[in-house]
Amino acid sequence: VKAAADKPSEPAEPPQSAAEVFKGVVQELAASPDRVELLERLRAGHEPDQHGWCRHPSHAAHWEHHPCPTLRLVTSVEHRADP
């Protein structure tokens, strides 16, 4: 981890990998005071059907096994936020 606090004129960060983006999103959500509500909303509708697929309409074009990436994100945030 690099400290950038003393470098205000730092140019834009290099492109992030998907894993780094995921980590950043998890950290931001975990730090949010509204995260319980946010996570509830994120999780809504992400239920498994009888075949183990996620039923959320956002996956209509590409089937996702349950738990889908959205639920894995929610779970990651919850684990990170727990004391």
Question: Is 74 near Zn ion (CB under 5 A)?
Answer: no
Q: Applying CB under 5 A, which of residues 29, 54, 73, 74 lies at the interface with Zn ion?
A: 54
* Minimum CB–partner distance for residue 54 and Zn ion (Å): 3
Lookup: tokens for 78 = 């919850």
Segment near Zn ion (CB under 5 A), from 2-10, 18-26, 29-37, 69-77?
69-77
Q: How far apart are alpha carbons 28 and 38 in whole angstroms?
A: 11
> How far are the Cα atoms of 6, 21, 35, 52, 64 from residue 16, in angstroms, in the given order?
22, 6, 24, 32, 24
Q: Is 19 exposed, middle or buried (0-12, 13-18, 19+ CB in 10 A)?
A: exposed
Question: Is 73 near Zn ion (CB under 5 A)?
Answer: no
* Minimum CB–partner distance for residue 28 and Zn ion (Å): 20
Q: Footprint of Zn ion on this chain (CB under 5 A)? A: 46, 54, 56, 68, 70
